[in-house]
Amino acid sequence: MPEVTSLFRLPLGQAARTISRRLQRAYQQHKHIIVPMLLAPIGMGLSIPSDGGARPGQESHSLKARATDPKGIHGHPSTILSQTAAQFASEITIANQAGEKVDLKNSLMILSLCLTRGSRFSIEAKGEDAAQAVTALARVLAEELKVASVWSVSTDVQVKLKGMAVTDAVVIGRALPIKEVLDIESYPRIDIRAEAERQGKSVEDLLRNRLGLVVDAFRAIEEELVGDESDVAQTLSVLLMEIKTKVLEHMEKNTLCARDAVEALLNDYKVLRVSDNEKMQSIYTDIYQMCTKMLSIKHRRVVDIRREIERLGRDDVVIVADHISPADVGLVNDARVAGIVRENGSREDHLSLRLGDRQKAGLVNARDAVAAVRLGSQIIVDGMTGRLIVNPGTSTLRKYRILKKRSDAVMASLVALRESPAVTRNGARIRLMGNAANPEEVALLLEHGLEGVGLVRTEFFFIYDREGLTRKAEPSVVEQTRYYTELIRAAGDKEITFRTIDPDLDKSFPYFSRLNGDLVAGGKKGLALCLDREGHGPYYYAFRNQLKALLLTNGRIKVMFPLVRSNEEFLFAMEVVDSVRAELESQGIKVNDRISYGIMVEHPAVLRHLDELAADERLDFFSLGTNDLTQYLTGTNRYSSVTSQYFDELDPRVIRAIDQTVKAAARADIQLSLCGNMGNEGRKLLVLLGLGVRSISFSSRFADLARQLISSVDSDSLRLMVRNIAGITTGSEVRRYIDEFILEQERAGAWADLSVYEDLLFD
């Protein structure tokens, strides 16, 4: 009795496990005794080890899951699970990570496993109805009780996972799971001198060989990026060139192996990793992942994703991975890739931005996605809800096929409206603009019925030449003038706005490093950097040359300065314009006198200077840069996998800043436009219309829907909606109110046309 008495002094779970272990030992020794009868009076069951696999004629199926409820798998879920399991004839067990296995049909034994939040566990069923049992238990865990994330099921039952949608695209495709290790610790560290002695080679010969391998690995990444002409790929190419130069430099100067050189490089950029600025942290992540990609190529561990796509042999491939290196951003251009799902990443990182550009499906933060799929598994990526559905059932497939067919038909019907102006029900005219970086992108915007270019990102022309190769020197004034002229001609009689160079850590000019042009975390940015003759002189002179090239163009254009913080910065910029103009005119050169000048409103510091700026007769317009404005006001980073979920352009602080800018422009009677991404979602667009923004940049993908939404609503009602939003304190509450407001308008018959497009307009 002393042993029995001591059990009552133990916590319930520990006592139950102790009893279970003792009974299991007894069972092994005395299988002819019916041990469960000993516990029948107190209602306990036994964990009886199986003698092996399923018997002939029986099936064996299992699932793996992770407890997500703050209380873990506690009393109520244990009871429901045991009751569900009891409905099936199969032998069903549940095991924790330590391998302790108990009978799922007994709730007390489930509790003995102590499955706390975050614990991983597995359920196995053996018997004729094993598949049905596992299907039912997966549904109970994830959908009814909602206490666990089910991430692997041996039978092809439907599994739903949640992530964060990158785009609103919905795709039905086949899974390509990618398991590539991007961890520097997995690569060897070699002492070059000792290795040379061991091989009987000179240190110089061995180092030369290792340098060649590293150069070849970097070249493979460069070739992948050069094939993608997007701004994103060009930004990454610049970063890659800097990484390559410094890794090789560390190897050669310090006689280091590739891994040690990478670690030295990462130490050089430690300031980015420990920075409070999450954009800096995200740049560090890009550097780290491109370095580990190089190492994986060098050591022949790289996963050739394009070859895997080829082997799958489908044109509806959905890549499912933990991480995708920035070096693989070109995968988005592959016509066979319908979407990319990642367990990590951010909705605003480089890969996500490219998915948006190419109108492809994507999810980030989709936990356990890789384990949930098998090669070729049918999956659905739902960008409207952020769901990943693995092995969808017949009814689910039917539903999504109908939805896709309907959305395709709706989008096709909107093409006919591209020649029509965007006008609200009560006659407010809205100008639909777009952003571009080259003449081809301008042509695409006009093809989609957009009315001009709200932003030309000029800095990329300073980084790459016409062939997409990284420049070794600044483009000449003549070459720049030719580039700007081509863009002006591509726009025809449409408005076009050039943003002057906006270098940053992730888009610095590579050829300036030898001219004291290195950018540092926390350093000057935007216009302040271009006006800094002392600290970063090269950018000042590049800025002057750019203004010279713009003044040598013909036609009506707009020029705006980035990240302006004060009236003094704008005045200084205009002094540079006057100086360049005077220099050209003194040489008898005719300059373009049809240029209007403005600023981007994207830093909170400028908000208190808006009236002063608007009163300056040289300033003709404000352009809202809501991407950076939102980051600064909310203290988040759209590139971060941690805080991007809190990057919210419907945050009341952002709405107030836009309202302040709109009113300042109205008081001074100057033009106002928005060149950020905020217009590319229905709720946000409604807020912008209600605030009085009348010139908005859209992606070519969203432009047709935007035109339809504008024609379905009236600006008077939206002004009322925005006034009511003024008292709301969070972005999520703003969303809820907008949804309620839309429903009220539809019920009243005011916005009846909108209901047809709701699924496509609102994420």
pLDDT tens, residue by residue, 595-641:
999 999 999 999 999 999 999 999 999 999 998 899 889 887 655 55
Tens of pLDDT, residue by residue over 467-518, are 766 788 899 999 999 999 999 999 999 999 999 998 876 566 777 765 445 5
What is the spatial distance between Cα 144 and Cα 77, in angstroms, rounded to a whole number? 10
Do residues 119 and 66 lie in contact, with contact meaning Cβ atoms separated by under 8 Å?
yes
Tokens standing for residue 394: 């017949």
Examine the residue annotation and report whether 76 is marked as an active-site residue of this protein: no
List beta partners, residue 673: 623
Do residues 347 and 646 lie in contact, with contact meaning Cβ atoms separated by under 8 Å?
no
Query: Which ranges of 96-230 would DSSP assign to H, the alpha helix?
Result: 107-111, 130-139, 192-199, 203-226
Name the residue type at position 99.
G
pLDDT at 468: 66
Q: Which of 30, 32, 61, 74 is catalytic?
A: 74
pLDDT at 28: 46
Query: Which ranges of 513-609 would DSSP assign to H, the alpha helix?
Result: 526-530, 537-551, 567-586
Q: Return the number of other C-beta atoms located less than 10 Å from residue 250's C-beta.
A: 20
What is the spatial distance between Cα 440 and Cα 438, in angstroms, rounded to a whole number? 6
Torsion of CA 277, 279, 284, 289, to 10 degrees: 150
Residue 564, classed as helix, strand or coil, is: coil
Do residues 259 and 295 lie in contact, with contact meaning Cβ atoms separated by under 8 Å?
yes
pLDDT at 654: 96
Q: Which stretches of the chain score pLDDT less than 70?
A: 1-59, 152-157, 227-229, 231, 276-279, 348, 468-469, 505-508, 513-523, 535-537, 637-646, 752, 759-761, 763
What is the spatial distance between Cα 751 and Cα 84, in angstroms, rounded to a whole number? 47
- Residue 464 has phi, psi (to 5 degrees) of -125, 150
**Residues 6+ away with beta carbon under 8 Å from 705:** 411, 414, 682, 757, 760, 761
What is the spatial distance between Cα 742 and Cα 726, in angstroms, rounded to a whole number? 17
What is the spatial distance between Cα 355 and Cα 341, in angstroms, rounded to a whole number? 11
Tens of pLDDT, residue by residue over 31-64, are 344 334 433 333 333 333 343 444 444 667 888 8
What is the spatial distance between Cα 676 and Cα 216, in angstroms, rounded to a whole number? 38
**Residues 6+ away with beta carbon under 8 Å from 694:** 428, 429, 430, 431, 672
**Residues 6+ away with beta carbon under 8 Å from 590:** none
User: Which helix or strand (DSSP H or E) is residue 425 part of?
Assistant: none
- Which of 683, 502, 532 lies closest to 603 in space, CA to CA? 502
Tens of pLDDT, residue by residue over 317-362, are 999 998 888 888 888 888 999 999 999 887 767 788 788 877 789 9
Q: What is the DSSP code string of 237-299? A: HHHHHHHHHHHHHHHHHHT--HHHHHHHHHHHTHHHHT-S-HHHHHHHHHHHHHHHHHHHHHT
